[in-house]
Amino acid sequence: MFRFSKPALGGAIALALAALTAGSALADGRYAGIGRSATRAEIHAWDIDVRPDFKGLRPGSGSVDQGQEVWEAKCTSCHGSFGESNEVHTPLIGGTTKDDIKTGHVLSLVKGDAPQRSAIMKVATVSTLFDYINRAMPLTAPKSLSNDEVYALVAYLLNLAEIVPGDFVLTEKNIAEAQARMPNRNGMRTDHGMWPGASAAKGGMGNGGKPDVKNTACMSNCKTEVKIASLLPVYAETAHGNLAEQNRPVGPVRGKDTSGKAGATPAAPAPLSENAAASKLAQDSGCMACHGVAGKIVGPGYNEVLAKYRGQADAEARLAAKVKAGGQGVWGAIPMPPQTQLKDEDIRSLVKWIMSGAKAQ
Amino acid sequence: MADQPNPRGRIRPAPESFLTEAEITAVKEGRRDFLRNAFVTASAALAGSSVARAAEGDPNILTLPPWTTSLGQPVAARPYGLPSQYEKGLQRRESPGLTRMPQVSVAFTPLQGLFGIITPSGLHFERHHQGWVDIDPSKHRLMVHGTDDSFLKQPKVYTVDDILRLPPVSRMHFIECGANTGMEWGNVAVPTVQYSHGMLSCSEFTGVPLRVILEDCGIDWKKAKYVLAEGADGSSMTRTIPIEMVQSDEVLVAYGQNGEMLRPENGYPLRLVVPGVQGVSWVKWLRRIEVGDKPWATKDEAIHYIDLMPDGQHRQYTSVQECKSVITTPSGGQILLDKGFYNISGLAWSGRGKVKRVDVSTDGGINWRPARVEGPVNSKCLTRFNIDWVWDGKPAILQSRAMDETGYVQPAYGQLRAVRGTKSIYHNNAIQSWKVIEGGEVSNVQVL
């Protein structure tokens, strides 16, 4: 039973619209009084994309050395000193060779022997790195980098992958040279059937929607045996929580009890304790991506923080200010980004929770 | 329930006793003391005489329950309605270990418990690249311009007020992440249909065809080949959309979802709807449309959402979600109550148009029967199928196989892997198999 309009009604609306746009009041396709012209300054403020042919790239420059400085301050915490970290995201750098730079196709992709695919192994276009760092990184403060800082960061990443030398200064003028050395620049193809626009033959991309796999709708005696190629590993069943609680308690089926406690009477769900609420807040606020309770991930373990400041009267206020503003140097060179997404009272209750042992319950 | 005759069949006891606890708690809440006491006494008495009463019949019938013998809750007690407390099992969930940061992650739709084709908005799957945001609609703008001045007569800025004044259309479409079922390319990895297929949802979307807006800006259709859509969140997601889909009126700038505004997690106040195309192109929090003549190779078109082929090349700009189906009940992690009649139910969809037919096998693909395809059957929309099945208590392997109006038939794992290998992450539309064993347990298996 649906509360929604039937397709016939949707069709009627579409027809009505067609009639309307064809009508004389809208002869030029314009809607009176709706929208206004965009100013040059507005377009300049938002039109930040950079295409593979560098259309949209704003002039600037940055050296590998400058890039390293910005990188260490703003990127190392998540991507590692050399873009190799696999903690917060898959590695940016690694897995490419001098030979790949010559051929333009990463050999380990062909051989299939790389344990992971780094970003540099995949990306064919250097513009993509520039565009993306400029629009989205660092993760917690996107669009905070200057144009020259983005040049410098791209130069640094290219140097890590040995695409450019250590004394390289990347500018809008020489970025095409870097493009010509991208290790996987010849690694993409579009001659498939999954582009929904015009085909390459008609000035677009792809083969016009021809599928690459063909099955037939055989109905009986389609094969002689059923080959089961793979079964659910036991750990995968229990890693997803108790499936009994992920199904409806009524109907033709029940969820399987994967709690390991089948038969026991489950306790009624208790309201969240103060500790549990704080623990959830820390999860939801992204703190646990960088902090463990006992030990270090990117930042110190919360119990290490407690051990350091226990008994200091102003510790909670100082730590709350630190979390809000971010900073580095107390636990090492890696900075904590400012946690500006949180309300002050939430930061205070998180710090209070940390200083009371960061218990789950 | 303690006072019920033993439930038949092989059903595990835990969920039932849990339910009774919850029921009792609920009834106790919000009632005057004398009523509560009366109820506690009554249930104690019931438990005592349960054996005697069982012979007469079901105590749920013989003793009127409190909800039949008391005054219910007032209107608007919950001004924005919520599901029953007994439906808590059906929630969006993350797959543990799949991603590393909750803001850069995915929460799956609980397909195992949904009916029909519309996904309740609160259960629509989530995939964010840099967290979700709740944008003040009075401060949101949509800018439309060209890569240079030759693509449009007039670059324009629209407020949300402007967009809501334009003539709207409402259409039902599925949205599926390109990486849906991606964990299963090489082998079985997850226990239930929520995790194997739950990056899939379907809504009625209301909005304005992007064509209308581009015409309002005076687009030069001859010059325009692609548009870039961009979001207003931190990630400012960007994706290249073919102009042909815009011209055909399919692509919408949507604000409505299932009769209300979009949920923030789904792009409030504006998102792009690109029917049949993977979810990443349905840019949320849409702030900008650029008209141009070349694709942009954005991060999610050049580092991710590219499909690795066995020869080491990546396919780029793979956007269409090909024809696919899955049985949602019975499915992995569920247990059949007993032998006898079941309705096998599932979903089928195609990014190339309407679903024409769905066949179901209960013997692992040796023999197939056509399922009942339920209406409405819309283009690029989820389609519900059902088929009768009498389970004889013996092992079975359930499969569904969809065909779309182009004649394309959903492939088996062996066929798909022969062409695409096992490392492409995206666009796994293989036939799903659920194995039923004698005890009634259903689990995820792969049949070649």
Above 80 in pLDDT, residue B10? Answer: no
Q: Are residues B255 and B110 in the same domain?
A: yes
Total domains in chain B come to 3
A195, A245, A257 ranked by CB distance to B89: nearest: A245
- Do A73 and A139 lie in one domain? The reply is yes
Q: Give the gyration radius of chain B's Cα atoms.
A: 25
Any domain includes A244: no
pLDDT band for B36, please (50, 70, 90 cuts): very low
For the full predicted model, state whether its pTM sits above 0.90. no
A21 or B81: whose pLDDT is higher?
A: B81
pLDDT at residue number A284: 76
Could you report how far apart the first and last alpha carbons of chain A are, in Å?
43
Which residues in chain A (253-292) have CB-CB distances under 8 A to chain B?
253-258, 262-266, 268, 283-284, 286, 289
Asked whether residue B53 carries a pLDDT value surpassing 80, the answer given is: no
Q: Which residue has 């704003």 as its token pair?
A: A58
Give the pLDDT mean for A339-353: 87
Same domain, B220 and B307: yes
Which residue in B167, B322, B334 is closest to A247 by CB distance?
B334
Is residue B91 in some structural domain?
no
Residue ending a domain, among A146, A179, A212, is A179
Look up residue B176 and give its DSSP letter.
E
A174 occurs within a structural domain: yes
Contact B242 A123 (CB under 8 A): no
Among A40, A135, A39, CA closest to B230: A135
B98 is a domain residue: no
Count H helices, E strands: chain A? 15, 6
Q: Is B76 domain-assigned?
A: no
For residue A114, what is the domain's CATH number?
1.10.760.10
Number of folded domains that form chain A: 3
CATH number for the domain that contains residue B149: 3.90.420.10
Task: Please say whether the beta carbons of B428 and B185 come within 8 A.
Answer: yes
Please state the rounded mean pLDDT for residues B312-328.
98
Q: Measured between alpha carbons, how far is A252 from A351 in angstroms, rounded to an integer? A: 48
Contact criterion met (CB below 8 Å) for A328 and A279 = no
Both B342 and B310 in one domain: the answer is no
Indicate whether this complex's ipTM tops 0.85.
Answer: yes
Is B95 within the bounds of a domain? no
Question: C-alpha distances in angstroms, B244 versus A35, A198, B71, B250?
Answer: 24, 7, 59, 9
User: What's the confidence (pLDDT) of residue B2?
Assistant: 37
Q: Which of B292, B315, B338 is the last residue of a domain?
A: B315
Closest CA to B446 of B425, B417, B419: B417
pLDDT value at A160 more than 70: yes
Question: What integer pLDDT is reported at residue A29 of this predicted model?
Answer: 58
SS3 B100: coil
**Residue B120, token pair as written in the block:** 């309740």
A107 lies in the same domain as A31: no
Residues B186 and B113 in one domain: yes
Average pLDDT of A100-115? 94
Least confident of A37-46, A184-193, A231-240: A231-240
Going by C-alpha positions, the residue among B286, B399, B405, B425 that lies closest to residue B351 is B405
Cα B87 to Cα A249, A255, B7, B90: the distances in Å are 8, 13, 21, 6
Q: Which position has the token pair 């037919």?
A: B357
Give the Cα separation of B381 and B225 in Å (integer): 26
| Minimum distance, in Å, between the CA of residue B34 and any CA atom of chain A | 23
**pLDDT given for residue A340 in this prediction:** 74
Residue B382 lies in a domain: yes
Q: What is the pLDDT of residue B213?
A: 97
What proportion of chain A, given as a percentage, has pLDDT over 90?
64
Q: CA torsion angle for A47, A53, A59, A61 (degrees, to 10)?
A: 120
Three-state secondary structure call for residue B163? helix
Give the rounded percent of residues in chain B with a pLDDT score beyond 90: 86
Same domain, yes or no: B209 and B131: yes
CA A357, CA A282: separation in Å to the nearest integer? 13
Q: Are residue B375 and residue B269 in the same domain, yes or no?
A: no
Indicate whether A7 belongs to any domain: yes
| DSSP-derived secondary structure for A282-326 | HHHTTGGGTB-SSSBSSS--HHHHHHHHTT-TTHHHHHHHHHHH-
State which of A159, A179, A199 marks the end of a domain: A179
Most B CBs within 10 Å, among A28, A34, A288, to test the B interface: A34
| Cβ-defined contact of A249 to B18 (cutoff 8 Å) | yes
Which pLDDT tens digit goes with each residue over A315-333?
A: 899 999 999 888 888 988 7
**Structural domain containing residue A12:** 1-35
B258 and B127 fall within a common domain: yes
**What is the mean pLDDT of the segment spanning B6-28?**
39
Tell me, yes or no, whether A190 lies in a domain. Answer: no
Is residue A167 domain-shared with residue A96, that is, in the same domain?
yes
Residues within 8 A of B (CB atoms), A 94-153 only: 105-107, 109-112, 117, 119, 122-125, 127-128, 131-132, 135-136, 139, 142-143
**Are residue A72 and residue A31 in the same domain, yes or no?**
no
pLDDT > 50? residue B41: no
Q: B400 pairs with which residues across the strands?
A: B360
CA distances from A45 to A57, A148, A316 (A): 13, 17, 40
Which residues have CB under 8 Å from B35's CB, separation 6+? B66, B70
Asked if B312 and A110 count as a contact pair (C-beta separation under 8 A), the reply is yes
How many interchain CB pairs under 8 A, A with B?
424
Between B157, B335, B376, which is nearest A42 by CB? B157
Q: Evaluate if residue A17 carries a pLDDT over 80.
A: no
Note whether B187 and B270 are same-domain residues: yes
Greater model confidence, A150 or A87: A150
Residues A175 and A76 reside in one and the same domain: yes
Grade residue B14 by pLDDT with cuts at 50, 70 and 90. Answer: very low
pLDDT tens sequence across B203-248 = 999 999 999 999 999 999 999 999 999 999 999 999 999 999 999 9
pLDDT in the model for residue A7:
44
Contact at CB, A51 and B294, closer than 8 angstroms: yes
Examine residue A288 and state whether it is found in any structural domain, yes or no.
yes
Q: What is the mean pLDDT of residues B406-431?
A: 97
In this complex, the residue of A28, A30, A128 whose CB is nearest that of residue B303 is A128
As a whole number, mean pLDDT of residues B371-394 equals 97
Judge residue B23's burial from the number of C-beta atoms within 10 Å of its C-beta, 0-12 exposed, 13-18 middle, 19 or more buried.
middle
Query: At B340, which helix (H) or strand (E)?
Result: strand B340-349
Q: What confidence score (pLDDT) does residue A280 get?
A: 83
Indicate if B204 and B139 belong to the same structural domain: yes
Contacts of A239 in chain B (CB under 8 A): 96-97
pLDDT higher than threshold 70 for residue B50: no
Contact B234, A142 (CB under 8 A): yes
Same domain? B391 vs B409: yes
Q: Is residue A47 part of a domain?
A: no
Does B185 share its domain with B333? no
Q: How far is B364 from chain A (nearest CA, A)?
A: 6
Tens of pLDDT, residue by residue over B144-164, are 999 999 999 999 999 999 999
Q: Which residues contact A283 (CB under 8 A, 6 or more apart)?
A: B102
Both tokens of B28, joined, read: 């106790």
In a shared domain, residues A66 and A155: yes
The answer to whether the bond into A138 is cis (omega within 30° of 0) is yes
Q: Would you tell me the crossing angle of helices A126-136 and A147-160 to the nearest 10 degrees?
A: 130
Residue A66: CB atoms within 10 Å? 19
* SS3 state at B140: coil
Residue A148 sits in the same domain as residue A114: yes
pLDDT over 70 at B71, yes or no: yes
Confirm if B17 and A265 have CB atoms less than 8 A apart: yes
Question: CA B349 to CA B36: how far, in whole Å?
Answer: 50
Q: Are residues A17 and A101 in the same domain?
A: no
Distance between CA atoms of residues B294 and A203, nearest Å: 10
- Rounded Cα distance between A247 and B87, Å, is 8
Find all residues with CB under 8 Å of B397, minimum gap 6, and list them. Answer: A226, A228, B361, B362, B363, B364, B365, B433, B434, B435, B436, B445, B447
The token duo for B129 is 């690249």
**Set of chain B residues whose Cβ sits within 8 Å of the Cβ of A135:** 235-236, 238
pLDDT in tens, A234-281: 888 889 999 999 999 999 999 999 988 765 544 455 567 888 888 888
- Closest-CA residue of A relative to B276 is A196
Separation CA B168–CA A16 (nearest Å): 10
Q: Could you tell me which chain A residue has the CA closest to the CA of B215?
A: A29
DSSP-assigned beta bridge partners for residue B230: B238, B288
- The sign of the dihedral angle between the CA atoms of B198, B389, B10, A265 is positive
B329 and B310, same structural domain? Answer: no
On whether both A68 and A147 belong to a single domain, the answer is yes
As a whole number, mean pLDDT of residues A70-99 equals 95
Residue A232 lies in a domain: no
Structural domain including B26 reads: 1-68
Looking at the fold, whether A278 and A351 belong to one and the same domain comes out as yes
Per-residue pLDDT averaged across B15-34, rounded? Answer: 39
Domain end (from B12, B45, B68) = B68
Q: Do both A174 and A120 map to the same domain?
A: yes
**Residue A11 in contact with partner chain B when CB distance is under 8 A:** no
CB contact under 8 A, B335 and A46: no
Distance CA A256, CA A244 (A): 5
Contact A104, A115 (CB under 8 A): no
Share of chain A above pLDDT 70, in %: 89
Q: Is A6 a residue whose pLDDT tops 80?
A: no
Single residue among B283, B315, B347 that ends a domain in this structure: B315
How sure is the predictor about B23, in pLDDT bands with cuts at 50, 70 and 90? very low
Same domain assignment for residues A10 and A105: no
User: Please, which pLDDT band fits residue A34 given cuts at 50, 70 and 90?
Assistant: very high
Mean per-residue pLDDT for A47-66? 98
CATH number assigned to the domain comprising residue B423: 2.60.40.650
Per the prediction, chain B carries an average pLDDT of: 90
Which residue, of A110, A144, A179, is where some domain finishes? A179
